[in-house]
Amino acid sequence: MATDDPLAINPSVAIPRAELAVRASRAGGPGGQHVNTSSTRVEVTWNVRQSSALTDAQRARLLQALAARLDGEGTIRVVASDTRSQRQNRELAESRLAEVVRRALVIPRKRKATKPTRASVERRLEGKKRSGTQKRARRWKGDD
């Protein structure tokens, strides 16, 4: 992974690595004494509002879809501390960021209203009749 290669999101969007802010810090978890001395937890941040990689429509879509994950400036933050390697954690954080952005850019298809088939309507009505008959049979007749 070269540092000048953009982070590919989908065929139309690639984030320049210069727009990604990467910060390493100490991670908790397994690692013994090693964990106390090495900064393996990686935090990747990207500002959606100021990015040059997006069109206005894509930016609006991301701001709306990721509203809960963005801070006040429009920055999204992804953290990885899964492994003991800073390089692997950086790759994990970048791939997670790419996945979050990729999912947010997907525009869901609108549901097309359909008419129920005649057979399904008849099955539904037949089921209702059967249920009503069953309930009628449970009623107290008052013959006693």
CA distance 108 to 106: 6
Residue 112 within any structural domain of the chain? no
Please state whether the predicted TM-score (pTM) of the whole model is above 0.75: no
Residue 140's pLDDT is what?
86
Q: How far apart are CA 110 and CA 124, in angstroms?
A: 26
Mean pLDDT value of segment 67-79: 90
Does the residue 140 lie in any domain? no
Could you tell me if residue 136 is inside a domain? no
Residues 131, 141: Cα–Cα separation, whole Å: 18
With 0-12 CB in 10 A as exposed, 13-18 as middle and 19+ as buried, what is 63?
A: middle
In a domain, 84, yes or no: yes
Per the CB < 8 A criterion, the answer to whether 42 and 24 are in contact is yes
The answer as to whether 43 is a domain residue is: yes
Q: What is the pLDDT of residue 1?
A: 56
Give how many domains the chain has, as a whole number: 1
More confident of the two residues 101 and 30: 101
Collect all residues with Cβ–Cβ distance below 8 Å to 65 and sequence separation of at least 6: 104, 105
Which among 17, 104, 14, 10 has a CA at the least distance from the CA of 60? Answer: 104
Q: What is the pLDDT of residues 9-26, one digit of tens each?
A: 888 888 888 989 999 888
41: domain CATH number?
Answer: 3.30.160.20
Tell me the two tokens of residue 44.
């990747």
Q: What is the pLDDT of residues 85-111, one digit of tens each?
A: 889 999 999 999 999 999 999 888 999
In a domain, 113, yes or no: no
Instruction: Report how many helices (DSSP H) and strands (DSSP E) the chain contains, helices first.
Output: 4, 5
